[in-house]
Amino acid sequence: MSGGTTEYTIADDGSFTAPLELFYPYKRTVGPLLSRFLTGLREHRIEGTLGSDGRVHVPPAEFDPMTGEPLSEWAEVSSTGTIVTWSWQPSPVEGNTLQHPFAWALIALDGANTNLLHAVDAGSADAIRTGMRVQARWATEPVGSITDIECFELVPESAA
């Protein structure tokens, strides 16, 4: 089926699927704040910035959402958390560490007050749900990038 120049399909349930190509054809420096965050990931450590209200922001926020002042205090959080919401990615995404279907999820890491968007290797859409516990699966060769967390994996309910 075609609509203008964008091709799309309609699933049996009435939902639309359309191709999306998202890329950033530039490079930039990350600065001292994200540099510290990414260095922590390389060392299998997740840190966030501490706001004036005591909230821990992961990924780190440069400025306090309450006061607008620069944030300089850090707090380490757990690599385990809870799925807040998720969406199933039925086909691989070029450049992603997972080359099979997976979920994108907002994850509330233990000790953090904001959510981290990352991939969850759940096996199937039927295996994942909001409220499930997940843990980071670290890359075997970390480089100081968000991909140092290869993805998150479901924590077996007996262990959660």
Answer whether 0.85 is exceeded by the pTM: no
pLDDT in tens, 27-86: 778 889 999 999 999 999 999 999 999 999 999 999 999 999 999 999 999 999 999 999
Which value, in Å, is the radius of gyration of the alpha carbons in the chain?
18
pLDDT in tens, 103-147: 999 999 999 999 999 999 999 999 999 999 999 999 999 999 999
Scan for tokens 């510290």, then name that residue. 36
Which tokens is 141 given? 């060769």
DSSP one-letter code for 6? E
Q: Are strands 116-121 and 149-154 parallel, antiparallel or unpaired?
A: parallel
Non-local CB neighbours of 113 within 8 Å, separated by 6+ positions? 55, 56, 57
Measured at the CA of 63, the angle between CA 47 and CA 116, to 5 degrees, comes to 40
Q: Across-strand partners of 78?
A: none
Which helix (H) or strand (E) is 38 found in, with range?
helix 31-42
DSSP one-letter code for 41? H
